[in-house]
Amino acid sequence: MTARPAVRYGNLSPAARESIGGTRYYVDGASIAGYVRYWAHDPAAPAWTGDRCGCPDDRCAGFHHDPDRECGCLETTLGEYAAAASGCMVCRRPVESANVARHVFDRARMALMPVHPDCRPAALAMLGLDEDGRPIP
């Protein structure tokens, strides 16, 4: 088995690390390294390229929120990471990267559910949706 490459996240703020590490928003099995791997642009060399606040968007502070205010994105992005870690809604295999995840909105759960691209047709059928994600009459 090949060792995973080291994860670099030195540019994450201490507050973001605390939140991602599970002490602020509890996400079962969350780790800073797992979160960074999920959002990494290059899984072969995972490094945090997002903003210091923990948002994957590198221009978050000053764009999504004032630089002196707390980021509101982190709770949502942690939720997406946690859902992906629990696996594809069809085959239950882990969805290890935001780059491969496709999400389907599950109205019953009121949540975006992670799906592998090859599982998307089955996920849509499970939810009674057509290929464009609209309800089948």
Write the pLDDT tens digit of every residue in 30-82: 688 888 888 887 777 788 888 888 888 888 877 777 777 777 888 788 878 87
Inform me whether the pLDDT recorded for 13 exceeds 60. Answer: yes
Q: Give residue-wise pLDDT tens across range 104-133.
A: 766 666 667 778 888 888 888 888 888 877
Domains contained in the chain, number = 2
Q: Are residues 92 and 125 in the same domain?
A: yes
**Which three-class secondary structure state does DSSP give residue 110?**
coil
Q: Which domain holds residue 53?
A: 1-67
pLDDT at 6: 81
Q: Are residues 38 and 3 in the same domain?
A: yes
Distance CA 96, CA 7 (A): 14
The answer to whether residue 11 sits within a structural domain is yes
Q: Are residues 37 and 93 in the same domain?
A: no
Give the mean model confidence (pLDDT) for residues 9-19: 86
The answer to whether residue 96 sits within a structural domain is yes
Count of Cβ atoms closer than 10 Å to residue 76 Cβ: 12
pTM for this entry: 0.70
Q: Are residues 60 and 11 in the same domain?
A: yes
Q: Are residues 58 and 100 in the same domain?
A: no
| Residues pairing with 120 in the sheet | none
Distance CA 54, CA 8 (A): 13
